[in-house]
Structure 1
Amino acid sequence: MKILVISNNYPSNKYPSHGVFVYKLVQEFAKLGHEISVISPTKIGLSKGNQKKSTYGTELCEVYRPKYFSASAKRIGNFNTYKYSQRGQVLAVKRTVRKKNIEFDVVYAHFITNAIIAVEALSEYNKPIFGAIGESNIDASVAFFNSNYFKRIISNVQGFIAVSAKLRDKLASFGVAAEKILLKPNAVNLDIYYPRDKIEMRNKFGFPKNKKILIFVGRLIEHKGPLRLLEAVRNLTDINLIFVGSGSQNPIGDNIVFKGEVHSEVVPELLSSADLFVLPTSKEGSCNAIVEAMACGLPIISSDIPEVRDQCDDSFSILIDPFNISALRSSITEILSDPQTLSAMSQNAREFSRNFDVKNRAREIIEFISTK
């Protein structure tokens, strides 16, 4: 099958961590024997360099990165400038398919805005279009559109892959029939995400071997909670922190041993050097970072919200109010103070992660697409 993927969030040389979850899934599509073309519209001025060189990982797909002018997404009265940004992406997709003579049997668009771009750009080809819905706040994306326009456009989408029950139910509230929705949480490649030797990893990165290390993986922005984690461990001795990601918030402290973006292949090594994964997030779609951490054998402290409850089991996790700093601190000390609990939770996390194998997820999505 020839699959055309539409995603404006896909890794590049300059931004190797952007859309890694999309990249990993479509690589699995390719490994299953399908021919994959990816169109990733790129804002003018956003990327530089030779885009044919894949520094973010082995690329099994043909990737095109047409440029478009972005007017951002600002509301002016009843008008949203996203209309012009969307139009630019629609034209970029149309132009690329035509100029590159891309042949495809089906379209897979990641996120609701990309599904709408696919409908606008590719309906003339009369090929089925599928949308993957993984937004942490789908209402914010839907707010770009007039409600009548939105419902009319999504009625042209053949099927949806929802990463959480909450998003599945949201699609149903838009009038999408249950048989058009596949509920399939995000997953990871268990051949890549597995526990390495902790001492070896700490030696590799120069981390102390006599302290407990907490790791945070995600965008360094308010709703993910990096500064809440920093506050929770204030005055706790013998604890170091790793922050993997970038964003508008900047955790600073003598107890931080690593902070910054890394290539995806480094993430499991950093996870393996830690004792505990902590993510006090206020909203998610289906959190890849949580599944990656459990696959590397880390107990999880995260948020008591529906999306995280879908991923976690109390045998290896503690879920709390992400804004309750006291509860966050006590959960951290509870786990770290008992080596037997830490060890048992680690083993349970690893076992539970087998429910989130990206190879199985890719096969089930292909089966869903093939039967529609």
Structure 2
Amino acid sequence: MGILEREIAIYRLLAQRIGGMSLVTSGGEEEMAFQEKLPGIEILYNRWGLSPNCYSLLAPILHSHALRKATVYKTNQLDGAWTAILAAKLYHKPVIVRAGYLWAKNFLRQQGKGWKTNLINRLERFSFKQADGIIVTTKEMKRYINGMYDIAPGKITVIPNYVDINLFRPIRSIKKIMGRVCFIGRFTSVKNLKLLIESISPLKGVSLTLIGDGDERVFLEEMSRNLHVDVRFLGRLENQYLPEEINQAEIFILPSKFEGHPKALIEAMACGSAVIGTDVEGINTVIKHNVNGLLCQPNVKSVRQAVTELLSNPQKRAVLGHNARQFVSTHFDLDVVVEAELSALKNIVNQHIK
């Protein structure tokens, strides 16, 4: 549910390979702006202006004409997976539930125990149990689901997030801006941007580019002014403009408290950036310390040391950036991920026919 601009490339290639596709999105008519970029794909949006919860329950009926013709359903995330599961029950189709992150586990970390956490846990369990197949982005997620919900390992396929390495690439014509550090993502407590601003505040000649938006934006803007940190708040940018911003920076940093399989990080690595990430779940499986990036602890001293080390060593930045590009090209290239997605879809359809 939800058409994201950053997912257009994979949908376009999948549609070409399987001969057509329908995308059910919770968005409104504005989603039709993507139609020109998605030839051969039917966009089914919330044309009735229903509330998200109401629409998610009624979508299988409202879009029955297209859903009846489908061969298999696949969700983009866990949130809203029940829409596909309801449709699968109504029209007797197989369904694949994709989890780019662990919804219940992450919610518990952020909100603690309570009725909402219990509800999300039950919805997650229900979705995994009812699915014919499950796609996750990391081996760690597969192990967690297997242990937490007693889901057979054979039902779970690991397919990482992809990167369009033709779009996200080193751009030699762009000159690096000395001392520039870049971050892309949501401005929420999980991303730990307060820590990042505090860490670089005493460093002379260092500036931050923060791309994204979220609940903490006003707080972060005020904090950066109070600490006299040079921060550019660019808001959300279209995907096509991200490589230019990444290539202008000498460092890309992701100081999160935890991650799933961070797309912004692997996109920066595809650009040949020297990357820094906190040594936490989801990041330390992508960054190999001193090989394709630096890992640091989620505290001011460690983040500051990592930033200082890379800014003062252009040769190391070049080596890490080269290795990062090679790593992403090998493991997360769009073409590789498309083949894995096609294989998963074919397997589920064949099992359903039997």
- Does the alignment pair 1:112 with 2:78? yes
Structure 1: state its 5+ residue gaps: 1-6, 12-19, 72-84, 203-208
Alignment-derived partner of residue 215 in structure 1: 182
Change (3 A) 1:21 1:284: farther
Superposed CA deviations along residues 132-175 of structure 1, whole A, max 9, x for unmatched, are 1112543338732574x764553331111111223212221212
TM-superposed deviation, 1:223: 0.8
Alignment-derived partner of residue 338 in structure 1: 313
Q: Write the distance in 1 (CA, Å) between the matches of 2:120 and 2:269.
A: 37
Q: Write the distance in 2 (CA, Å) between the matches of 1:179 and 1:218.
A: 33
Mapped contact 1:136–1:284 kept (Cα < 8 A): no
Counterpart among 188, 193, 205 of residue 163 in structure 2: 188
TM-superposed deviation, 1:40: 0.6
Alignment-derived partner of residue 272 in structure 1: 247
TM-score normalized with structure 2 length: 0.84
- Does the alignment pair 1:126 with 2:92? yes
| Identity across matched positions, percent | 21
**Corresponding residue pairs, total:** 326
Superposition pairs of residues 24-43 of structure 1, within 5 angstroms: 24-42=9-27
Q: Write the distance in 2 (CA, Å) between the matches of 1:337 and 1:124.
A: 61
- Does the alignment pair 1:362 with 2:342? no
Change (3 A) 1:198 1:216: farther
Change (3 A) 1:92 1:137: closer
Counterpart among 265, 269, 273 of residue 298 in structure 1: 273
Alignment-derived partner of residue 10 in structure 1: 3
Return the letter of the residue paired with 1:32: R
Alignment-derived partner of residue 322 in structure 2: 347
Secondary structure of 1:161 counterpart: strand
Greater alpha carbon shift after TM alignment, 109-118 vs 280-289: 109-118
Secondary structure of 1:247 counterpart: coil
Alignment-derived partner of residue 74 in structure 1: none
Alignment-derived partner of residue 352 in structure 2: none
Greater alpha carbon shift after TM alignment, 246-255 vs 182-191: 246-255
Mapped contact 1:196–1:272 kept (Cα < 8 A): yes
Superposition pairs of residues 1-372 of structure 1, within 5 angstroms: 7=1, 9-11=2-4, 20-42=5-27, 47=28, 51-54=31-34, 58-60=37-39, 61-66=41-46, 67=48, 69-70=50-51, 85=53, 87-98=54-65, 103-135=69-101, 137-139=103-105, 140=107, 143-145=118-120, 147=122, 151=125, 153-172=127-146, 173-197=148-172, 199=174, 209=177, 211-250=178-217, 251-252=220-221, 253=224, 255-314=230-289, 315-322=291-298, 324-354=299-329, 355-372=331-348
TM-score normalized with structure 1 length: 0.80
Structure 2: state its 5+ residue gaps: 108-115, 349-354
Change (3 A) 1:121 1:214: same
CA RMSD of aligned residues (A): 2.4
Superposed CA deviations along residues 96-145 of structure 1, whole A, max 9, x for unmatched, are 123x5762101011222332221123312111100111125433387325
Change (3 A) 1:231 1:198: farther
Superposed CA deviations along residues 254-278 of structure 1, whole A, max 9, x for unmatched, are 5124521110110111111111111
Return the letter of the residue paired with 1:280: P
Change (3 A) 1:68 1:135: farther
Q: Write the distance in 2 (CA, Å) between the matches of 1:192 and 1:243.
A: 20
Mapped contact 1:109–1:130 kept (Cα < 8 A): yes
Larger % of helix: which? 2
Structure 1 runs (4+) deviating above 4 angstroms are 149-153
Mapped contact 1:41–1:68 kept (Cα < 8 A): no
Secondary structure of 1:110 counterpart: coil
Q: Write the distance in 1 (CA, Å) between the matches of 2:118 and 2:3.
A: 23
Change (3 A) 1:119 1:350: same
